[in-house]
Amino acid sequence: MDYKLKQCLDNVRKPARYAGGEYNQVVKDKRQVDCRVALCFPELYEIAMSHLGTKILYGRLNAMEGVWCERMHAPAPDMEREMRRRGLPLYGLESKDPASDFDILGFSLQYELNYTTVLNLLDLAGVSPFSKDRAELTPLIVAGGPCVYNVEPMADFFDIVLVGEGEENLPALVELYRQAKAQGWSKQTFLKQALDIEGVYVPSFYQLKYNPDGTVAEIIPQNGAPAQVKKAIVRDLDKAYYPDSFIVPSTDIVFDRAMIELFRGCRRGCRFCQAGYTYRPIRAKSAETLTRQAKKLAETTGYDEISLSSLSSSDYPWLEQLCDSLVDYYEPRHVNLALPSLRADNFNMDLMENIQKVRKSGLTFAPEAGSQRLRDVINKNLYEQDLLDSCAVAFAAGYNSVKLYFMMGLPTETEEDLAGIAAIVRNVIRTFRQTASNKARGVKINVGVSTFVPKAQTPLQWVGQNSREQVRQKQEFLREQLKIKNVSFSLHKSESSYLEAVFARGDRRLSAVIYQAWKNGCNLDAWDEYFQFEAWMDAFETCGLDPDFYAYRQPGKDEILPWDHIFSGVTKEYLRSEYEQALLGKATP
Give 351-378 pLDDT, tens digit per residue.
777 766 555 667 889 999 999 999 999 9
Residue 153's alpha-carbon distances to 147, 149, 555, in angstroms, are: 10, 11, 17
Residues 486 and 402: their CA atoms lie apart, in Å, by 11
Return the pLDDT at 334: 87
Query: Is the CB of residue 216 less than 8 Å from the CB of residue 562?
Result: yes
Read off the pLDDT band of 426 (50, 70, 90).
very high
What is the full DSSP assignment across 43-110? S-HHHHTT-HHHHHHHHHHHTSTTEEEEEEEPPPHHHHHHHHHHTPPPB-TTT--BGGG-SEEEEE--
Give yes or no for a cis peptide into 139 (omega within 30° of 0).
yes
Q: Is 212 exposed, middle or buried (0-12, 13-18, 19+ CB in 10 A)?
A: exposed
Q: Please, are residues 76 and 12 in contact by the beta-carbon 8 Å criterion?
A: yes
Using an 8 Å Cβ cutoff, are 458 and 464 in contact? no
- Note the pLDDT of residue 356: 62
Q: What is the pLDDT of residues 284-322, one digit of tens each?
A: 999 999 999 999 999 999 999 899 999 998 899 999 999
Alpha helices by DSSP H, listed for 184-340, are 187-194, 274-278, 287-301, 319-330
- φ and ψ of 72, to 5 deg: -135, 150
Tell me the one-letter amino acid at 351. L
For 230-254, write each residue's pLDDT tens digit: 999 999 999 999 999 999 999 999 9
Identity at 460, one-letter amino acid code: L
Rg for the chain, CA atoms, rounded: 24
Q: How confident is the model at residue 337 (pLDDT cuts 50, 70, 90)?
A: confident
Burial class (CB within 10 angstroms; exposed 0-12, middle 13-18, buried 19+) of 584: exposed
Q: What is the pLDDT of residue 357?
A: 59
- Tell me the pLDDT tens digit for each residue of 11-33: 999 999 999 999 999 999 999 99
Closest CA to 323 of 299, 365, 353, 303: 353
Residue 398 — very low, low, confident or very high, per pLDDT cuts 50/70/90?
confident
Averaged pLDDT for residues 77-103: 97
pLDDT exceeds 60 at position 545: yes
The CA distance from 437 to 463, in Å, is: 45
Question: What is the Cα–Cα distance from 282 to 546, expressed in whole angstroms?
Answer: 39
Would residue 571 be called left, alpha or beta, if left means φ above 0 and alpha means ψ between -120 and 50 degrees?
beta
3-class secondary structure, 566? strand
Question: Of all residues in the chain, what percent carry a pLDDT higher than 90?
Answer: 89
Q: Which of 239, 172, 161, 145 is nearest to 202 (CA)?
A: 161
Arithmetic mean of pLDDT, 50-62: 97
CA–CA dist 230, 163 (Å, integer): 7
Please state the φ and ψ torsions of residue 35, each to the nearest 5 degrees.
-145, 125
**170: nearest Cα among 180, 161, 181:** 161
Residues 275/86, Cβ–Cβ less than 8 Å? no
In the structure, what pLDDT confidence band is assigned to residue 453 with cuts at 50, 70 and 90? Answer: very high
Q: How far apart are CA 410 and CA 375, in angstroms?
A: 10
Give Cβ neighbours of residue 81 (< 8 Å, ≥ 6 apart): none
Contact 569, 458 (CB under 8 A): no
459-475 burial, b at 16+ Cβ within 10 Å, e below that, comes to bbbbbbbbebebbeebb
Nearest-5° angle of CA 542, CA 546, CA 552? 155
pLDDT value of residue 533:
98
- pLDDT tens-digit readout, 502-521: 999 999 999 999 999 999 99
